[in-house]
């Protein structure tokens, strides 16, 4: 008892112990992977731009049996794979996707969704708990529909806003990617916060002419604008048209008829261009 009392006194009277100061919590930089499939290099260009700006690792998904360059053959093979749910084998990935916190997934839109090698990739990896940022290139659109499929395939991933660009507007991509990455907080820097669209109203003759000029004779859009909303851009104006699909005969390659949204930009005194279609 006496010994215990002495020891306690010794502890109490001993030199003051330095209490280590709590280290300020350093923000952990998320580990980011940009992974993509690209047949004709449009999506590759976006992936490279994203990875460079992010300073992220970059990996290409490569099918074991490449789709050959012929468009008709690719359509036939891709359609068969999608219809049968029989997706192509892909080469072993170099990256261990499990090691990453944020995964940017890039793809071309095929038949309104991501191309078949992405189905294979999603079957092979578990993105649960990860932040997933989709991006794509397309002829007319498909980001929104492909993201729905992505959310179904990876229900436990956090699917974040994505970026999509028409193949025909690839020259606008670098600037848009920069704005996209800044607006969503992946990189630092100033960006332009776009205003909301106005209310929709029936199209005027002038607005109908803008729609027709933007859509031109693009084969996949055969529609008549009914209502429109608009907003100012820093260097022009953007329109959100609602259009009704018009009869297109019995061409089996045409998407189903219905209502569509067509986004059109008019920059400076340039001709109107459509930026995407949502079906």
Ligand X SMILES: Cc1cc2nc3c(=O)[nH]c(=O)nc-3n(C[C@H](O)[C@H](O)[C@H](O)COP(=O)(O)O)c2cc1C
Q: What share of the chain is helix, strand, coil (3-state, %, to 5)?
A: 30, 25, 40
- Give the number of residues in contact with ligand X, rule: CB under 6 A: 23
Of 134 and 141, nearer to ligand X (C-beta) is 141
Quote the least distance from Cβ 254 to ligand X, whole Å: 11
- Asked if residues 140 and 166 have their Cβ atoms less than 8 Å apart, the reply is yes
CA distance 123 to 46: 24
Site map 60..79 versus ligand X, x via CB under 6 A? -----------x--xx--x-
CA distance 167 to 7: 79
Among the residue ranges 22-30, 55-63, 136-144, 151-159, the one whose residues contact ligand X (CB under 6 A): 136-144
Residue 176: DSSP 8-state = H
39, 120, 265, 275: which one binds ligand X (CB under 6 A): 39
- Asked if residues 116 and 87 have their Cβ atoms less than 8 Å apart, the reply is yes
- Asked if residues 50 and 106 have their Cβ atoms less than 8 Å apart, the reply is yes
CA distance 196 to 232: 9
Q: Indicate whether 109 belongs to the interface with ligand X (CB under 6 A).
A: yes
- Asked if residues 33 and 57 have their Cβ atoms less than 8 Å apart, the reply is yes
141, 162, 164, 272: which one binds ligand X (CB under 6 A): 141
Of 40 and 232, nearer to ligand X (C-beta) is 40
Q: Indicate whether 167 belongs to the interface with ligand X (CB under 6 A).
A: yes
Q: Indicate whether 137 belongs to the interface with ligand X (CB under 6 A).
A: yes
Q: Indicate whether 88 belongs to the interface with ligand X (CB under 6 A).
A: no
Count how many residues are written for the chain: 279
Tokens of 245: 């699909």
Q: Indicate whether 82 belongs to the interface with ligand X (CB under 6 A).
A: no
Q: Indicate whether 116 belongs to the interface with ligand X (CB under 6 A).
A: no
CA distance 177 to 108: 16
233: Cβ–Cβ under 8 A, 6 or more apart, which residues?
194, 265, 267
32, 33, 35, 43: which one binds ligand X (CB under 6 A): 43
Among the residue ranges 21-29, 137-145, 180-188, 192-200, the one whose residues contact ligand X (CB under 6 A): 137-145
Q: Indicate whether 38 belongs to the interface with ligand X (CB under 6 A).
A: yes
8, 9, 31, 41: which one binds ligand X (CB under 6 A): 41
Compute the radius of gyration of the chain from its Cα atoms. 26
Of 129 and 256, nearer to ligand X (C-beta) is 256
Among the residue ranges 105-113, 151-159, 200-208, 258-266, the one whose residues contact ligand X (CB under 6 A): 105-113
- Asked if residues 77 and 67 have their Cβ atoms less than 8 Å apart, the reply is yes
Binding site for ligand X (CB under 6 A): 38-44, 71, 74-75, 78, 108-112, 137-142, 167
């Amino acid at each position: 008892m006496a010994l215990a009392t002495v020891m306690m006194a010794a502890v109490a009277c001993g030199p003051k112990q330095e209490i280590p100061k709590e280290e300020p919590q350093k923000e952990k930089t998320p580990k980011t992977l940009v992974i993509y499939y690209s047949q004709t290099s449009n999506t590759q260009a976006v992936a490279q731009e994203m990875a460079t700006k992010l300073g992220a690792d970059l990996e290409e998904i490569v099918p074991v049996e490449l789709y050959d360059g012929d468009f008709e053959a690719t359509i036939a093979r891709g359609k068969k794979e999608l219809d049968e749910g029989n997706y192509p084998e892909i080469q072993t990935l170099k990256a261990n996707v499990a090691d990453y916190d944020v995964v940017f997934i890039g793809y071309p839109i095929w038949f309104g969704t991501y191309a078949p090698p992405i189905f294979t990739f999603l079957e092979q990896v578990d993105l649960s708990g990860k932040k997933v940022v989709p991006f794509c290139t397309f002829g007319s659109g498909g980001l929104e529909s492909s993201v729905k499929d992505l959310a179904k395939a990876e229900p436990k991933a956090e699917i974040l806003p994505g970026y999509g660009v028409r193949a025909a507007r690839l020259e606008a991509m670098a600037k848009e990617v920069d704005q996209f990455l800044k607006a969503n907080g992946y990189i630092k820097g100033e960006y332009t916060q776009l205003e909301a669209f106005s209310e929709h109203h029936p199209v005027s003759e002038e607005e109908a002419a803008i729609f027709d000029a933007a859509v031109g004779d693009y084969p996949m859009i055969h529609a008549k604008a009914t209502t429109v909303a608009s907003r100012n851009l820093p260097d022009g104006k953007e329109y959100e048209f609602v259009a009704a699909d018009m009869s297109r005969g019995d061409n089996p390659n045409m998407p189903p008829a219905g209502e569509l949204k067509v986004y059109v930009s008019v920059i400076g005194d340039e001709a109107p261009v459509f930026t995407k279609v949502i079906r």
